Structure 1
Amino acid sequence: MPRLYGFDNQALTRVRAEEQQVVREAVGRLRAGQSQAAVAAWMTAEGHRGTMGGEWTSMTLGRLLDNPAIAGLDRDPVSGELRETGREALITPEEFRWLQQRPGRPGSARSAEDREPDYDYWLSGGLALCGNCGQQLTGGRTSARTPSYRCPATFEGRGGCGKIRITASLLEDHVAEHVLGELMRPGAQAALEQVQAALAAEAEQVRERIADMEKSRTELAEPYAAGQLSRSAYVAVDQQVTASTKKERARLRFLEQAVNVPLGGVEDLARWWEHAPSSSKRGLAVLLLKRVEVRSARARGVRDVDDRVTLTWHSPVAA
């Protein structure tokens, strides 16, 4: 089976930077109004080829852009709803959702009637955690098709407890209420700008660590190719570097959500929040909150979340 364009391996744990840039440029051209056929023609004219060496067509480009893996997502096998995987991504989840909803989009193999409308779980991606085991909560629908956050029993090879689930609207409304309360406090914007600067500095440090890891991976290949390093030793170190790089990239994606929030020029953050896109809400929540921990309900069916959700804030001003 050929690899997915933009990735180095079948596990989708390593991105090919040059192919990622091609996909990003293609998406940018689509968002600027070019047709899918025109973008495919541009890719071919520039000498870009698919993983099997073929030229790009509207159909082959459409299949790539219809694959949620390019945005670090997959579809729930029951509901067909998008959910985050924590894997590497070529584009953002928001860009992928735009691709699926864009005007004039060629029909995909799976019609919208076959699946539930996608729900944007804006507390996913590392902010909402299981209060029992510390695992990241992921979005997904219940058997009754209600959007919820849950602790997965397994996640990327690491097991969560699988015991926590909370209705998405209950948790999101609870967090939004407290976030809005903090945004209306005097000095909130100045405090947020300080946190944003600190997180931007951390993000740069993470990028440097990722670059060092990738450099070490390249340097490791030379003694292996020269027969100075056994295959077992090479594989063991490569797996360790891959795991560390993956963890750092996940942290970088989390930080970038906050770093990219457009605070400048916003006079009334509370009013801005009401109409902000989910990506901006997520980023602003990351600026304010270190984590949102969810514990088990007192009893089955209890909808009160005050006693089962703990918010940990970044700044004393927002505490």
Structure 2
Amino acid sequence: MPRLYGFDNQALTRVRADERQVVREAVSRIRAGQSQAEAAAWMNAEGHRGTMGGAWTSMTLGRLLDNPAIAGLERAPEGGELVETGREALITPEEFRELQKRPGRRGSVRSGESREPDNEYLLASGVAVCGECSTPMTGGRTSAGTPSYRCQTSRGGCGKVRITASLLEDHVAEHLLGELARPGSRAVLEQARESAEAEAKQLRGRQVALEESRAELAAPYAAHDLSRDAFVAADKRITEDLKVVRSRLRFVEQAANVPLGGVEDLARWWEHAPYSSKRALVLLLLEKIVVRPARARGVRDVDDRVELNWRAAEAA
């Protein structure tokens, strides 16, 4: 099976920088108004070819741009919702979602035209965790089609906790807006931003160390000082650690760069801000959101189910 363009391996853990730049340029051209055929023609004119050496067409480019993996996403087994994987990406999740909505691309190669539209999950960023096993919760629809957050056994969780997305998001927004309305909220935001920047710096160092460790495995393996099984096991551990670090780093960097410059009324800003900016603010102020099981089936009161862990000590 040929590798996915832009990635160096089948596991999608290593990106080819030159091919990633090609994809980003093609996406930029489409977002600027060019058709897929025009973007494919540009790729061919510049000498870029697919992983099997073939020329690009509107269809082959469409297949690539419809693959969630290029944005570090995958579809959940149940419901088909897009969830983040933590792997490296060629474009951002926001860019990917925008591409799927562009009218000029409809019917390219997507099989999901009749599927319900993807819901945007404000807290599907690793910040909401299961109160039973601490596994990050993911967004997905119930069998009735209701957007919800859940702990998934397929991702190593216990599968015991699920909560309706609107209930959790409204609860978090209420407390977040209350925090933003308090006197001195700017100071709290700056303190949280400094904390996020410090964590990002630490994570970048950890990422470099892990990448160096993986590179160092090659020499003893090539010299037959390290067995194949030991090499594979060590590489797998490092890859999993890198996945966690990269995922956390991406979210922390979002938090550190939340676009609040010149915003006077933060509560009003929240009402009209895009989901990506809201998510960044959540990540800036909240370390994690712990969600516990409901007392009984159908109970909609979330006050005793949800615990907000704030980044800044001054936050309530």
Same fold (TM over 0.5): yes
Structure-1 residue corresponding to 2:245: 248
- Inter-partner Cα distance in structure 2 for 1:131 and 1:299: 16
Report the alpha carbon displacement of residue 107 of structure 1 after superposing the two structures with TM: 1.6
Report the alpha carbon displacement of residue 93 of structure 1 after superposing the two structures with TM: 1.5
Q: Is the 8 A contact 1:182 1:188 kept in 2?
A: yes
1:101 aligns with 2:101: yes
Equivalent residue in structure 2 for 1:307, among 282, 290, 304: 304
Number of matched pairs: 316
SS in 1 for 2:149: strand
Structure-2 residue corresponding to 1:84: 84
Aligned pairs (5 A) from 1:45-56: 45-56=45-56
Could you state the TM-score of these two structures normalised by the residue count of structure 2?
0.93
Q: Is the 8 A contact 2:86 2:244 kept in 1?
A: no
- Inter-partner Cα distance in structure 2 for 1:51 and 1:80: 27
Structure-2 residue corresponding to 1:178: 175
Q: Is the 8 A contact 2:2 2:52 kept in 1?
A: yes
Change (3 A) 1:111 1:54: closer
Worse-superposed segment, 71-80 or 258-267:
71-80
Change (3 A) 1:81 1:202: closer
Q: Is the 8 A contact 2:83 2:124 kept in 1?
A: no
Structure-1 residue corresponding to 2:26: 26
Equivalent residue in structure 2 for 1:202, among 190, 199, 219: 199
- Inter-partner Cα distance in structure 1 for 2:29 and 2:194: 31
- Inter-partner Cα distance in structure 1 for 2:287 and 2:215: 34
Worse-superposed segment, 272-281 or 223-232:
223-232
Structure-1 residue corresponding to 2:43: 43
Report the alpha carbon displacement of residue 87 of structure 1 after superposing the two structures with TM: 3.4
Equivalent residue in structure 1 for 2:209, among 185, 207, 212: 212
Change (3 A) 1:287 1:161: same
Worse-superposed segment, 27-36 or 51-60:
27-36
- Inter-partner Cα distance in structure 1 for 2:44 and 2:202: 37
Report the alpha carbon displacement of residue 112 of structure 1 after superposing the two structures with TM: 5.3
Unaligned runs of 5+ in 2: none
SS in 1 for 2:289: strand
Q: Is the 8 A contact 1:193 1:263 kept in 2?
A: no
Change (3 A) 1:4 1:164: same
Equivalent residue in structure 2 for 1:286, among 280, 283, 287: 283
Q: Is the 8 A contact 2:147 2:165 kept in 1?
A: yes
Q: Residue type matched to 2:172 in 1?
A: V
Change (3 A) 1:301 1:250: same
Q: Residue type matched to 1:197 in 2?
A: E
Deviation per CA, 1:125-165, whole angstroms, max 9, x where unpaired?
Answer: 1110101110101111111110000000121xxx2110000
- Inter-partner Cα distance in structure 2 for 1:113 and 1:23: 24
Structure-2 residue corresponding to 1:266: 263
Deviation per CA, 1:152-210, whole angstroms, max 9, x where unpaired?
Answer: 0121xxx2110000000010001001111111111112221222132123213322322
Structure-1 residue corresponding to 2:129: 129
Equivalent residue in structure 2 for 1:239, among 236, 244, 248: 236
Report the alpha carbon displacement of residue 77 of structure 1 after superposing the two structures with TM: 5.0
- Inter-partner Cα distance in structure 1 for 2:21 and 2:212: 20
Report the alpha carbon displacement of residue 38 of structure 1 after superposing the two structures with TM: 2.2
The RMSD of aligned alpha carbons is 1.9
Report the alpha carbon displacement of residue 35 of structure 1 after superposing the two structures with TM: 2.4
Q: Residue type matched to 1:107 in 2?
A: G
Could you state the TM-score of these two structures normalised by the residue count of structure 1?
0.92
Structure-2 residue corresponding to 1:68: 68
Deviation per CA, 1:258-293, whole angstroms, max 9, x where unpaired?
Answer: 022112111111111100111111110111111111
- Inter-partner Cα distance in structure 2 for 1:208 and 1:190: 27
Structure-2 residue corresponding to 1:114: 114
Structure-1 residue corresponding to 2:254: 257
Report the alpha carbon displacement of residue 3 of structure 1 after superposing the two structures with TM: 1.4
Q: Is the 8 A contact 2:66 2:109 kept in 1?
A: no
- Identity among equivalent positions (%) equals 72
Q: Residue type matched to 2:177 in 1?
A: L
Q: Residue type matched to 2:10 in 1?
A: Q
